[in-house]
Structure formats: C-alpha cells, structure tokens
Amino acid sequence: MFIAISLHILAATIWVGGMFFAYTSLRPVAAAVLEPPLRLTVWVQVFSRFFNWVWLTIIFLIISGHYMAAQMGGLANVGKHIHIMMLLGYIMMGIFMHVYFAPFKRLKAAVALQDWPSAGGHLNLIRKMVLLNLVIGLFTILVASAGRYL
C-alpha cells in the first residue's frame, strides 16, 4: 500500500502541478515576451514533453487507485470521497484525451504549416481546457485529502 499511495500522490502532483505551473507562470511569460510564431512553436514543444508525462501519470493513477481500492475490499468499501475522486479523475482523463487527440493535434498541424491565426485559436482552446482540468484537479486533491472529514 505504501508504494501504491506514494505513486498515486506523485502522479497527481506531477499532472496537476504541471498544469498549475504552465497556466500561472509559463503562459503569461510566454505571452508577454514571445511573438506568436515563436510562442506557438514553444507551446507545441512544451506540450509534446508534458503530455508524455501526463500519459504516464494516468497509467500510474489508474493502476495504483484501483489497486488501493481492491486492497480495501473493493469500491463498495471505500468512502464517498474516493468515489468522487475517481469520478473527477476519469473526467480529467477524458478532457486530457480530447485535448491531446483534437486541439493539440490541430495545433501541431497549424504550426507546421505556419498558419499562426489557426494555431492561436487551437492554443486558446487548449488553454481553456487546461484551466478546466486544473480547477477539477485542485478540487480533486481537496476531496481526496480532506473528503473523509466531511
């Protein structure tokens, strides 16, 4: 259980912390100092690296989460906060997969074609979805860590 909870917390920290850093620190600086062609190219490279980590965190979150639930006798024996955490986690995964397979794919294609206005629109959609996932992720952390005290 020690290894499972450790991997679970580390995976959630990497994913949510990465979104927090990208949204609150990297995004405003990139917008302030980089012209659109360079900024959009940087974002494609940043997302390409970060999204690989997100895929890895998703694998660890699913495996460790279900393992821990099984160790507690199954989902029927865990608290409501665990069910809420799992639901929100799967919603986050769905949002991420949509971002990865739709607007990110279109962003990469637009940058490759140097279609900066189109690329900017795709980046803006990704920004909104990352913000949504960040809010859900932060709330999920609150539910997971303090939910049993409600």
Residue range 89-145, pLDDT digits in tens: 999 999 999 999 999 999 999 999 999 999 999 999 999 999 999 999 999 999 999
Tokens of 99: 């971002």
Cβ(114)–Cβ(37) below 8 Å: yes
Residue range 27-73, pLDDT digits in tens: 999 999 999 999 999 999 999 999 999 999 999 999 999 999 999 99
pLDDT for res 58: 98
pLDDT for res 150: 79
Q: Which pTM does this prediction carry?
A: 0.95
Lowest mean pLDDT among 7-16, 18-27, 75-84, 111-120: 75-84
pLDDT for res 95: 98
Q: How many distinct structural domains can be found in the chain? A: 1
Average pLDDT value for residue range 14-22? 98
pLDDT for res 131: 98
Tokens of 38: 């360079």
Domain enclosing residue 26, as ranges: 2-149
Nearest one of 21, 88, 93 to 57, comparing CA atoms: 93
Angle, to 10 degrees, between the axis of helix 103-112 and the axis of helix 36-71? 150
More confident residue, 18 or 1: 18
More confident residue, 149 or 120: 120
Angle at 63 (CA atoms; ends 139, 1), nearest 5 degrees:
85
Average per-residue pLDDT in the chain?
97
